[in-house]
Amino acid sequence: MVKTAVLVSGGGTNLQALIDANIFGELKNCELAAVISSNPDAYALTRAERAGIPSYVVDISIFPNRASFCDALLKKLQDLDIELVVLAGFLYVLTPAFVKEFPNRMINIHPALIPSFCGDGYYGIHVHEKALEYGVKISGATAHFVTTATDSGPIILQKAVEVEENDTPKTLQQRIMEKAEWIILPKAVSLFCEGRLEVNGRVVHIKEAENEN
């Protein structure tokens, strides 16, 4: 079982998708070992408690800078012997030193089809605002490995979602969560934990499961 920690900052809907997938046996060889929140008031902590997952708070507000916060977060992960880190609505950019401790062992979900609408400043509702401003007809979500450049890591899975005529940023955000994020994030985590992901440069190859021909 791959010891997995989920980093959160808010409501935890993507965390809930992982919890639900685990309940239904869709997370193979994965132990949801910890939920760590940067915000002591995050509802994601309640979701973790209800699911019986140990939860911790590394409160970003008490640290003088990003580096010291990331150092404390890294120490917590190391103390817990975490093998895979999943960013699920985690609102803060991690330092390069932190990221380098988990090469191809940190997965993020982004609410657009990378390389569109990604990078610095593209997070949360802002992604959908920009997509609608641009007039795209298709958006979606991307599960990718985390590297030191924001939203630039190797892509694991993507799923497209059509933009509807009367969409607002909020309606588009909700549809992308339901039809893409909550589907591909658990699948990407499971593929990693099954040992089925092979990274070659920027390309992620998905190996067949052992019971497949």
In terms of DSSP bridges, do strands 203-206 and 30-37 run parallel, antiparallel, or are they unpaired?
Answer: unpaired
Residue 143 falls in which region: left (phi positive, over 0), alpha (psi -120 to 50) or beta? beta
Task: Please identify which of the residues 110, 126, 144, 205 carries the catalytic annotation.
Answer: 110
Q: Measured between alpha carbons, how far is 10 from 25 in angstroms, rounded to an integer?
A: 25
Q: Where are the beta strands (DSSP E) in 39-133?
A: 55-57, 84-87, 106-110
Q: Is residue 189 classed exposed, middle or buried when 0-12, 13-18 and 19+ CB atoms within 10 A define those classes?
A: buried
Q: Is 110 designated active site? A: yes
Nearest in space to 58 (alpha carbons), one of 41, 71, 45, 73: 73
Amino acid identity, residue 179?
A: K
**Contact criterion met (CB below 8 Å) for 189 and 107:** yes
**CA-to-CA dists, residue 110 to 8, 53, 149, angstroms:** 14, 24, 14
Catalytic residues: 110
